[in-house]
């Protein structure tokens, strides 16, 4: 039975070039970076920084040293919450997030607010699963220091109007962080055009290995922020009286990073560039429309998230079966989807469901696989209804 993998919002499968790059790195290129004067250390350092340049190009950032390697979006958000928070957030300041955030874009801000006495404000979400932009405007004030919102929702697929969000925040002098974990794999992201102050992605959701991702920060912010972790590689000079920090990006990359994963991540980026993110987006959109058309016909099935602008995410509930039962049944038919709250419990509460079933598409999915999904959902109905 062929596997139909429709859990791409959780993590993508990896192309052979990425797997080969990992194997090649550990067989022939493995050394620690920025240390030795020997061949392997120099080779590893060179490959490591090639990925940084590839990421700069892919996201159209101004400088390569604005691209900081992290393990994932979670680490990037926590880095900004800790470091930007330490430098720029104090009691009475306001941070804005939205109801559709992933827990990784909620909890770090709650922790920061607890530490500093700042206040977290929440943009409401409409019944269609779009951000309430009037609600957003009314939250903005001179107290707003940071707006951190998801670019594309992992639970609903909604593509948020981030350029407008950035523009409005900048009008009141607030910085903006975009959670691009679900946008980077599926839509073209031009950081200079968006003009956001921070951006995170998850490499493993965009064909890369687990363990290598990007935090982008504008140079002007990163220069003024304190280090997140202390250790090797991030210093200029250490004495017990006082240490000074290395320049960007090393200041934010303490310790030995996940070098092999970073090296292989470049091959994922180049793969996406070769296929073209615009054609990936178009392909997924066609699959989504094809899927929506068919599941709309299924009695007792309700779509959760019907925004006008959506990425390839199909979130739904059924009156006869709980998402868990849908997930297990689909799995037995070879169709892998996610069932759960998608690390977005406030959003689930907003829609009055404990969880949803979610199919999420990527460039390698086909119409036949959508057919398999729809057929499997019909089977669920025949068992439970």
Partner 1 sequence: MDLGSLYQDVILEHNRSPRNWGELAPPSQRADGRNPMCGDEVTVWLTIDNDRVAEVSFVGTGCAISKASASMMTQAVKGKTRAEAEQVFAQFHAMVTGRHANPADDPVLGKLKVFSGVARFPARVKCASLAWHAMKEALDAQP
Active site positions, annotated: 343
- Which segment (26-34, 295-303, 306-314, 315-323) binds partner 1 by CB under 8 A? 315-323
Task: Please pick, from the candidates 57, 62, 296, 324, the single residue that binds partner 1 as defined by CB under 8 A.
Answer: 324
Q: For residues 100 and 97, what is the distance between their CA atoms, to the nearest angstrom? A: 8
Question: Is 103 among the residues that bind partner 1 (CB under 8 A)?
Answer: no
Q: Which is nearer to ligand PLP, 202 or 315 (CB)?
A: 202
CB 55 within 8 A of CB 214: yes
Give me the count of residues in the chain.
Answer: 385
Kindly state whether residue 329 participates in binding partner 1, applying the rule CB under 8 A: yes
179 binds, among partner 1, ligand PLP, none (CB under 5 to 8 A by kind): ligand PLP
Q: How far is the CB of 234 from ligand PLP (least distance, A)?
A: 21
Scanning 19-27, 115-123, 177-185, 311-319 for contacts with ligand PLP by CB under 6 A, the matching segment is 177-185
Partner whose binding site includes residue 235, from partner 1, ligand PLP, none (CB under 5 to 8 Å by kind) = none
Contact of 263 with 216, CB cutoff 8 Å: no
Among 165, 160, 103, residue whose Cα is nearest residue 140: 165
Options 121, 341, 358, 381; binder of partner 1; rule CB under 8 A: 341
User: Within a 10 A sphere around the Cβ of 23, how many other Cβ atoms?
Assistant: 12
Beta strands in 165-247 (DSSP E): 175-179, 198-200, 213-217, 235-238, 243-245
Q: What is the Cα–Cα distance from 358 to 6, expressed in whole angstroms?
A: 8
Pick the closer one to ligand PLP by CB: 83 or 105.
105
Nearest approach, Cβ of residue 378 and partner 1 (Å): 15
Crossing angle of the two packed helices 277-295 and 367-384, in degrees rounded to 10? 30
Neighbours of 190 (CB within 10 A): 11
Closest separation in Å from C-beta 98 to ligand PLP: 11
Which residue(s) pair with 68 in the sheet? 215
| CA distance to 68, 83, 327, per residue, from 217 (Å) | 8, 12, 38
Residues 184-203 that bind ligand PLP (CB under 6 A): 202
Instruction: Say how many C-beta atoms besides its own lie within 10 A of residue 24's C-beta.
Output: 16
Shorter beta-carbon distance to partner 1: residue 41 or 345: 345
- Answer whether 306's CB lies under 8 Å from 146's CB: no
Minimum separation from the CB atom of position 149 to partner 1 (A): 23
Does position 328 bind partner 1 by CB under 8 A? Answer: yes
Q: State how far the Cα of 70 lies from the Cα of 374, in Å rounded to an integer.
A: 37
What does the alpha-carbon distance between residue 363 and residue 382 come to, in Å, rounded to a whole number? 31
Q: Between 15 and 323, name the residue whose CB sits nearer to partner 1.
A: 323
**Among 8, 51, 158, 182, which residue sits at the site for ligand PLP (rule: CB under 6 A)?**
182
CA 52 to chain centre: 17
Burial of 207 (0-12, 13-18, 19+ CB in 10 A): buried
Least Cβ distance, residue 280 to partner 1 (angstroms) = 30
Is 354 a binding residue for partner 1 by CB under 8 A? The answer is yes
By beta-carbon proximity to partner 1, the closer residue of 161 and 334 is 334
Q: Does 323 bind partner 1 (CB under 8 A)?
A: yes
Find the shortest distance in angstroms from Cβ 224 to ligand PLP: 25
> Which listed residue (322, 336, 346, 364) binds partner 1 by CB under 8 A?
322
For residue 36, give both structure tokens: 């030795």
Q: Is 160 an interacting residue with respect to ligand PLP (CB under 6 A)? A: no
- List residues binding ligand PLP (CB under 6 A): 9, 72-74, 102, 104-105, 150, 154, 179, 181-182, 202, 343
- List residues binding partner 1 (CB under 8 A): 321-325, 328-329, 331-332, 339-341, 345, 348, 354-355, 383-384
């Amino acid at each position: 039975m062929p596997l139909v993998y429709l859990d791409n919002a959780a993590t993508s499968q990896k192309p052979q070039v990425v797997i080969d790059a990992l194997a090649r790195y550990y067989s022939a290129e493995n050394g620690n970076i920025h240390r030795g004067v020997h061949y392997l250390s120099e080779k590893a350092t060179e490959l490591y920084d090639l990925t940084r340049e590839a990421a700069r190009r892919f996201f159209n950032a101004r400088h390569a040293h604005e691209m900081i390697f992290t393990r994932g979006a979670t680490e990037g958000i926590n880095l900004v919450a800790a470091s930007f928070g330490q430098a720029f957030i104090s009691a009475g300041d306001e941070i804005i997030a939205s109801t559709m955030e992933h827990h990784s874009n909620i909890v770090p801000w709650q922790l920061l607010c607890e530490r500093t006495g700042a206040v977290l404000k929440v943009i409401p979400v409409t019944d269609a699963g779009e951000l309430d932009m009037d609600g957003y405007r009314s939250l903005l004030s001179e107290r707003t220091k940071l707006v951190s919102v998801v670019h594309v929702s992992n639970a609903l697929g909604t593509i948020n109007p981030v350029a407008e969000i950035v523009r409005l925040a900048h009008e009141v002098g607030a910085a903006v962080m975009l959670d691009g974990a679900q946008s980077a794999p599926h839509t073209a992201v031009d950081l200079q055009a968006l003009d956001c102050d921070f951006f995170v992605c998850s490499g493993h959701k965009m064909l890369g290995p687990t363990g290598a991702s990007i935090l982008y920060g504008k140079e002007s912010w990163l220069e003024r922020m304190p280090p997140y972790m202390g250790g090797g590689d991030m210093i200029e000079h250490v004495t017990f009286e006082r240490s000074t920090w290395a320049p960007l990006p090393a200041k934010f990359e303490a310790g030995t990073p996940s070098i092999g994963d970073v090296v292989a991540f470049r091959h994922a980026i180049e793969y996406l560039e070769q296929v073209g993110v615009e054609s990936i987006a178009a392909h997924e959109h066609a699959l989504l429309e094809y899927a929506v058309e068919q599941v709309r016909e299924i009695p007792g099935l309700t779509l959760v998230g019907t925004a006008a602008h959506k990425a390839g995410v199909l979130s739904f509930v059924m009156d006869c079966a709980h998402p868990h039962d849908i997930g297990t049944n689909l799995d037995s038919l070879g169709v892998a989807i996610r069932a759960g709250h998608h690390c977005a419990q406030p959003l689930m509460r907003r829609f009055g469901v404990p969880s949803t079933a979610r199919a999420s598409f990527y460039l390698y999915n086909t119409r036949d696989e959508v057919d398999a999904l729809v057929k499997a959902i019909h089977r669920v109905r025949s068992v439970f209804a």
